[in-house]
Amino acid sequence: DPAYLDRFALEEWIGLRTQNPHLVKALARPAKSCLYLLVEYIDGLSLATWSTRNPTPGVKEVIRFTKQIIEGVRALHRAETLHQDLKPDNIILDGNGCLRLIDYGSCRIAAVAETHAAIPREEALGTLDFSAPEYRLGLSPDTRADQFSLAVITYHLLTGGAHPFPKGWERAKTLHHFLNLTYRPASAINPHVPAWIDTTLKKALSVRPENRYDSLSEFLHDLNHPNPPFNTGAPPPP
């Protein structure tokens, strides 16, 4: 399977090429006698497991987690790489409270994608619950696709595993279907979530990429600071 082997090799290349405290590192190896991948060992647990054990975390703690994930994702984006499979199972929390992104098997590197166009690949590689609509709509993804996944992860953590579009998300296949989905406020599940965070998440979860934030720094800023149009006078989150 040339496409599988190609992605396997890319996973190691990305792990050696990107350096950030919030990205798992691939380790250099001696001469290859067979195809294998070696990465650093992280003594910790997945964010999915942490969420199951902590169904009602403090809002500030979740935002701190989101900030760490964003730092790792931005390092990938600076290397012209989309992760494309951001989800709690692909994020490890170590004993020091540091989050690390793992699994680069679904990553897309713009320059590599162009030069390897002859190798057929399945573009919709992410996990349904956390992937942006553009993958199912056959649109070309950019960094705003990872932003969408980040917003779903943040919502997931704030609500103990709920999805922002509980009705119809899995069945949506067309733009019309996606546009008719209704965002369920995180505050409806977790009353500690202030309205301005819900508004921030709703913007990052826009079906149309052009309606999301232009950058992850703007998204993170609005999660931490009530944007004046979003401010409803709610007290700071716990």
Catalytic residues: 85
Q: What is the spatial distance between Cα 140 and Cα 117, in angstroms, rounded to a whole number? A: 14
Contact 100, 94 (CB under 8 A): yes
Question: Is residue 107 within 8 Å of residue 133, measured between CB atoms?
Answer: no
Cα–Cα distance, 65 to 93 (Å, whole number): 9
Contact yes or no for 24/15 (Cβ under 8 A): yes
Task: Determine whether 53 is exposed, middle or buried from the number of CB atoms within 10 Å of its CB (0-12, 13-18, 19+).
Answer: exposed
The sign one gets for the Cα dihedral 75, 80, 84, 90 is negative
DSSP E strands, 23-107: 44-46, 81-82, 91-94, 99-101
User: Among all chains, which residue has been given the structure tokens 């979740």?
Assistant: 62
Rounded-to-integer distance, Cα 5 and Cα 196, Å: 45
